[in-house]
Structure 1
């Protein structure tokens, strides 16, 4: 059985992906993830957000894009991430999205 901390982390990762999906471009400046998480009750530092974004990139559900001297400043949803949010695939480490039936 997963601990509360593990379940909370998986939910926060889902919130981050849903924030990307809510954008017409499928991308979002890293600085805006904090707001998306706080609306859902997840209070993360900027460092923790960057750590989780790197983890999500390793899972293949988003891509981090660097501009200038910033290590990364934009996160972009990948095809795998879109498939996950559409419930076509399961990705360990991220809470599965709720089924939205007709």
Structure 2
């Protein structure tokens, strides 16, 4: 995998975790997370975001439940801890000190 693609994947994983950590229930659906990624100049489509959601699920940073054609994604404490700089997850970009 190219360094650029690796960097982009790590970046979108952080975007996902931060977006979830900012929600009171730590939950969004994959369509909203795709739109949030676009707002951060990651416009690779829903399949790309879904792949990164599934990757985050494999490391225990999120849980995923399917509802019709949507994925309902909820951050675990592990995912929130990374977004809030209390834990470092390999493969996920580290949040900046500014927040």
TM-score range normalised by the length of the shorter chain: 0.7 to 0.9
Task: Name the one with the larger strand percent.
Answer: 2
Give the superposition deviation at 1:4.
2.3
**CA-atom RMSD in angstroms:** 1.8
Query: Structure with the greater relative contact order (CA < 8 A, sep ≥ 6): 1 or 2?
Result: 2
Aligned to 1:45: 45
Which segments of structure 1 move beyond 6 Å, counting only runs of 4 or more? none
CA distance in 2, matches of 1:11, 1:46: 15
CA distance in 2, matches of 1:89, 1:11: 16
Give the superposition deviation at 1:100.
3.4
* Normalised TM-score (structure 2): 0.88
CA distance in 2, matches of 1:85, 1:93: 13
* Normalised TM-score (structure 1): 0.85
Q: Unmatched 5+ residue regions in structure 2? A: none
Q: Is the CA contact (8 Å cut-off) linking 2:12 and 2:49 kept in structure 1?
A: no
Aligned to 1:80: 78
Give the superposition deviation at 1:46.
1.5
Does the residue aligned with 1:66 lie in a helix, a strand or coil? strand
Q: Is the CA contact (8 Å cut-off) linking 2:20 and 2:27 kept in structure 1?
A: yes
Q: Unmatched 5+ residue regions in structure 1? A: none
